[in-house]
Amino acid sequence: MSGGFGGFGTATTTAGSAFSFSAPANTGTTGLFGGTQNKGFGFGTGFGTTTGTSTGLGTGLGTGLGFGGFNTQQQQQQPSTLGGLFSQPTQAPAQSNQLINTASALSAPTLLGDERDAILAKWNQLQAFWGTGKGYFNNNIPPVDFTQENPFCRFKAVGYSCMPNNKDEDGLVVLVFNKKETDIRSQQQQLVESLHKVLGGNQTLTINVEGIKTLPDDQTEVVIYVVERSPNGTSRRVPATTLYAHLEQTNIKTQLQQLGVTLSMMRTELSPAQIKQLLQNPPAGVDPIIWEQAKVDNPDSEKLIPVPMVGFKELLRRLKVQDQMTKQHQTRLDIISEDISELQKNQTTTMAKIAQYKRKLMDLSHRTLQVII
């Protein structure tokens, strides 16, 4: 089907053999479509729609290599992918060499063999604090690449994101489109039909839109779920893990990108094991002491989980999301205010009618008494 929705309807899929969601989805087992299925999740838009209340960044570069630039502020956000929170080093020797090289570049470079090495050390420290650049320290060893994930980068903070409370059985999957909300809503039916083709065009499957929400930078979040009808007439929602695993297949992902999808994620609650793993393993570049303090300062450990904010881009993204959510809250408050004003007018009109009817009742009562007398 070709339509006026830009990317929608341009991708076609040949229905393969037995596209069915009938097999139950088990985390960590073989998925419905033959691929290994691991239950993943992401932060950002996948963690609800709450907005941040404050952010904290490092103050000053200083001359030492401490972590004074870290601040822990309350930040309730949805959205970037979880990424490196689960990525723990698998090669201890390589990590050890990296730390040794970093320490040498920051404290004792031997590149020039004179007093200029001290100046080079200060320059490397500045690059490490900033989180960008290369640290040269030895003629025989490649320079160290300083990224914002390095432990000495000052432009970091720790905030908090809301944990989703949706069950896997709810089947909710988030798709982020690089299109405006107005375009999505005006072509919603074409979007549903295009997604149905991506899923193979199986007539037993029905795609439903749970919600549509505006995101910064002219992006839109669409929450969908799929209902599967069985031959005996019963129906059920396809589990989120099963649907997400299918959408993450390479050929399916390519078709989604042609429709304008930039990100897909499940909206499911975290298991206790996942939460424990997240809390026990500090993200890359975050000092364990800061991470422990963030866990202590968590205002609501049952609903919020600490997440790192690294660099100005992440801060800007969160500020945009916060601004967007504030506008949505203000719009909702304006609607409520208009409803209250309308109800007050209706109340005034009703009170006036009640007073009028009371006068009529009294007049009729007097007439009745006159007739009786």
For 139-198, write each residue's pLDDT tens digit. Answer: 889 999 998 888 888 888 888 888 888 999 999 999 999 999 999 999 999 999 999 998
Q: Give 42: exposed, middle or buried? Use CB within 10 Å, 0-12, 13-18, 19+.
A: buried
Is the pLDDT assigned to residue 341 strictly greater than 60?
yes
Is the pLDDT assigned to residue 121 strictly greater than 70?
yes
The two beta strands, 261-266 and 144-145, are unpaired
Q: What is the mean pLDDT of residues 346-363?
A: 95
pLDDT reported for residue 287: 82
Give me the residues paired with residue 157 across strands.
Answer: 309
Is the pLDDT assigned to residue 318 strictly greater than 90?
no
pLDDT reported for residue 94: 63
* In contact, 217 and 7? CB cutoff 8 Å: no
Q: What is the mean pLDDT of residues 295-311?
A: 90
* In contact, 25 and 32? CB cutoff 8 Å: yes
Residues contacting 183, CB < 8 A, separation 6+: 5, 6, 220
Q: Closest Cα to residue 316, out of 154, 128, 80, 84?
A: 80
For 16-72, write each residue's pLDDT tens digit. Answer: 433 444 444 444 433 444 444 444 434 344 344 444 443 333 333 333 343 333 344
pLDDT reported for residue 67: 37
pLDDT reported for residue 151: 82
pLDDT reported for residue 34: 41
Mean pLDDT across the chain: 78
Is the whole-model pTM more than 0.85? no
Q: What is the mean pLDDT of residues 225-241?
A: 91
Pick the more confident residue, 360 or 67. 360
Q: Which of the residue ranges 93-107, 119-133, 282-296 has the most confident prediction, judged by mean pLDDT?
A: 119-133
pLDDT reported for residue 93: 60
* In contact, 156 and 308? CB cutoff 8 Å: yes
Amino acid residing at 65: L
Measure the CA–CA gap between 44 and 201, rounded to whole angstroms. Answer: 31
Measure the CA–CA gap between 305 and 37, rounded to whole angstroms. Answer: 25
* In contact, 235 and 261? CB cutoff 8 Å: no
Q: pLDDT-derived band of residue 90, with 50, 70 and 90 as boundaries?
A: very low
For 240-259, write each residue's pLDDT tens digit. Answer: 999 999 999 999 999 999 99
DSSP state, 249? S
pLDDT reported for residue 40: 40
pLDDT reported for residue 95: 65
End-to-end CA distance of the chain: 84
Above pLDDT 90, what percent of the chain? 39
DSSP 103-172: HHHHH---SSSSTHHHHHHHHHHHHHHHT-SEE---TTSPPEEP-TTSTT-SSEEEEEEEPP---GGG--
Is the pLDDT assigned to residue 342 strictly greater than 90?
yes
Measure the CA–CA gap between 207 and 325, rounded to whole angstroms. Answer: 27
